[in-house]
């Protein structure tokens, strides 16, 4: 394959919403605001979990990791998206596109698995409360996070080169505002079904399998909660899990709709807005969900700010 025949020499043109300049301006302002809130919110969660000794528990260790992933997830593409939306220059170099795709695949995969790990943590807390700290000990927490990162790296290391080296016969226009895998695969001028099938296989392992583990964990949690006789006990157990369930629903709902469908089933604009949702809206909402619905985090935030002993 000749270098000049693909986009490796001249890079790509991220089309985005360039045919609708007014929409681009609105999206720039909205995305800049949401990204700022996401960075501030997730940074705050990380700092609070580090600085407050009362939050040095497995649950908040995983929450801090989730906030770090959300920061990485958004930062891997939103700054480039803002540049794309602001000015007339829509180009991105081949190397930058490859880095963006790699980061996107890696961090997104890690987050899918981490949410399953957090579901297991909630299962142990609700169903095995007396043995919780024995089951979810610090070494296990580190191993589970390491497995999540290792799985994400494997996905990115395998899929990124395959997608980036597909022959595109000189095509440079990506009908998206970032280098996302489905958009790059659609540009290929060769049969890419093998790459699509491999991507679908990874999606089953990294998206559906963790989701199945989450559903099993919450099935056991629901059965345990129904056995609790006191209304206060049931409410406490529900509050323990409700924030995580909300985050799982937001993240997995958009990811499954985007990646588990046949290649051309979703409209192109719909795909762009879905990408915005799980890249920006979900990372922005996660800190709000965990803060507003969690008395411990709100208390820790007040202690860190010096407003509560």
Has residue 126 been placed in a domain?
A: yes
Provide the percentage of residues in the chain whose pLDDT is more than 70: 90
Residue 6 domain-assigned? Answer: no
**Does the structure show a pLDDT above 60 at 280?**
yes
Q: Does pLDDT of 48 surpass 80?
A: yes
Inside any domain, residue 4: no
Question: In 10 A of CB 185, how many CB atoms?
Answer: 18
The answer to whether position 2 is within a domain reads no
C-alpha to C-alpha distance for 55 and 214, rounded to whole angstroms: 23
Does residue 1 sit within a domain? no
Region 95-119: mean pLDDT is: 92
293 falls within a domain: yes
From CA 63, how far away is CA 45, in angstroms rounded?
8
Which pLDDT score, from 0 to 100, does residue 247 have? 83
Q: Residues 291, 297: contact at Cβ < 8 Å?
A: yes
Number of domains in the chain: 1
Whole-angstrom distance, CA of residue 290 vs CA of residue 296: 10
pLDDT for 268 equals 59
pLDDT per position as a tens digit, 228-263: 777 777 777 777 777 778 888 888 877 777 665 554
The least confident of 109-123, 145-159, 207-221, 267-281 is 267-281
* pLDDT over 50 (residue 5): no
Please state, in angstroms and rounded to a whole number, the distance separating the CA atoms of residues 228 and 186.
52
pLDDT mean across residues, the chain:
83
Tell me if 7 is assigned to some domain: no
pLDDT for 238 equals 75
CATH number (domain holding residue 93): 1.20.1070.10
What CA–CA distance (Å, rounded) separates 68 from 114? Answer: 11
Q: Is residue 3 part of a domain?
A: no
**DSSP structure class, residue 279:** I
Question: Which structural domain, as residue segments, surrounds residue 239?
Answer: 12-305
């Amino acid at each position: 394959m000749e270098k000049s025949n693909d986009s490796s020499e001249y890079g790509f043109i991220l089309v985005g919403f360039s045919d609708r300049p007014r929409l681009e301006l609105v999206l720039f302002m909205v995305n800049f605001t949401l990204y700022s809130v996401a960075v501030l919110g997730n940074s705050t969660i990380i700092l609070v979990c580090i600085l407050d000794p009362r939050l040095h528990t497995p649950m908040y260790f995983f929450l801090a990791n989730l906030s770090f992933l959300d920061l990485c997830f958004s930062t891997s593409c939103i700054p480039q998206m803002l540049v794309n939306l602001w000015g007339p220059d829509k180009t991105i170099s081949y190397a930058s596109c490859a880095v963006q795709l790699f980061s996107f695949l890696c961090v997104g995969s890690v987050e899918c698995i981490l949410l399953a790990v957090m579901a297991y943590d909630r299962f142990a807390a609700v169903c095995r409360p007396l043995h919780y700290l024995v089951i979810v000990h610090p070494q296990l927490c580190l191993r589970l996070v390491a497995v999540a990162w290792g799985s994400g790296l494997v996905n990115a290391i395998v899929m990124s080169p395959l997608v980036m080296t597909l022959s595109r016969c000189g095509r440079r226009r990506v009908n998206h505002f970032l280098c996302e895998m489905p958009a790059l695969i659609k540009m290929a001028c060769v049969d890419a079904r093998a790459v699509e099938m491999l991507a679908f296989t990874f999606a089953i392992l990294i998206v559906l399998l963790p989701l199945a583990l989450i559903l099993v964990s919450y099935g056991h949690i629901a059965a345990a909660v129904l056995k609790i006789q006191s209304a206060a006990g049931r409410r406490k157990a529900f509050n323990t899990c409700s924030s995580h369930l909300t985050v799982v629903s937001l993240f997995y709902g958009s990811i499954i709709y985007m990646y588990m469908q046949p290649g051309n089933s979703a409209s192109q604009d719909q795909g762009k807005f879905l990408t915005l949702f799980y890249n920006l809206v979900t990372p922005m909402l996660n800190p709000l969900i965990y803060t507003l619905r969690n008395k411990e985090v709100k208390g820790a935030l007040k202690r860190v700010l010096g407003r509560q002993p």
